[in-house]
Amino acid sequence: MSISAHHTRIVKEKALQLGFSYCGIAKAMPLDEDARRLEKWLQQGLHGKMGYMENYFDLRIDPTKLVPGARSVITLLLNYFPTGQQQQASPKIATYAWGKDYHKVIKTKLQQLLFDLQENIGAIAGRGFVDSAPVLERSWATRSGLGWVGKNGNLITKKNGSFFFIATLITDLSLTPDDPFAKDYCGSCTRCIDACPTNAILPNKTIAANQCISYYTIELKDQLLPSEARDKMEGWIFGCDTCQTVCPWNRFSTPNQEPDFAPFSEILNLSTREWMSLTEENFKKIFRDSPLLRAGHKGILRNLQFIRAAD
């Protein structure tokens, strides 16, 4: 066994021991085709008011600029498919936000993975990224053989669907890359496109993020939500799972095994009236470790009032 193959085996063993569902490896190189696609998407203004998407363009497309001397991009998937169910009368919250903030959970795992690799392999440099840094995670996941990007813009695995967080570890370690995932198994299916309440899923796997319910309820900081969305929110107050729940591949999803993703009981059970009566102090106390803090008490109230006005 070569040194790179030996190190690759160690990487994958340690990743699975830390609870990651999948681990794939790609050679670190510029993503020229993805760069052109991202540039066009930004020029069309489909990112809305998410100005940060325009920042660090050169870093997004070249891992060696994020981690000097980078040789390998390790992509990791962590299952978040829920173990519970919201009450029918509860305002809807995307399942990724039912438990503790995944950024913190996964960053801890990435730090431990890097530490484990340094202990077992030696002095290596690396940086872990989870969603909040300029990394094209889905592109690397596809290049690492983990799945394909569906029409809804999500990475889909053939065995377990799409309810996964994607994490990236860029390192100067030489590893044996996996074969890229070459086939698209969406075929002629258009369920996600047909089901999207705001018609945010465009042809050619293009997402109009500025029309997405997740954008309206989380990223958009305006005092009022767009009037054209008033009858299309379908009860969502934080994110949206519609395009995932209708995807046939998610019939293979299995409940996650991560204790930190256990649902907050309030998310599963609070009625609209109870949400409305939550003070900011109580909101921060209950959801101090939750992704809901991204919208904040003020944003959640705005979203609640918006869907109530549509009823």
Catalytic positions, written as ranges: 131
Instruction: Round to whole Å and give the CA distance between 44 and 204.
Output: 14
In angstroms, the Cα distances linking 239 to 32, 91, 105, 166, 220 are 31, 11, 19, 17, 11
Amino acid at 126: G
In angstroms, the Cα distances linking 208 to 30, 45, 90, 196 are 25, 9, 27, 11
Q: What DSSP element (H or E) covers 165?
A: strand 164-171
The tokens of 24 are what? 């794939």
**Among 222, 246, 269, 297, which Cα is nearest to 90's?**
269
The tokens of 152 are what? 């809804």
In this structure, the number of other CB atoms found within 10 A of the CB of residue 115 comes to: 11
> Any idea what DSSP says for residue 132?
S
Inter-helix orientation angle 102-121/3-17, to 10°: 140
Q: Is there a contact between 71 and 172 (Cβ–Cβ < 8 Å)?
A: yes
In angstroms, the Cα distances linking 76 to 101, 125, 167, 182, 214 are 17, 18, 5, 18, 23
> Any idea what DSSP says for residue 73?
E
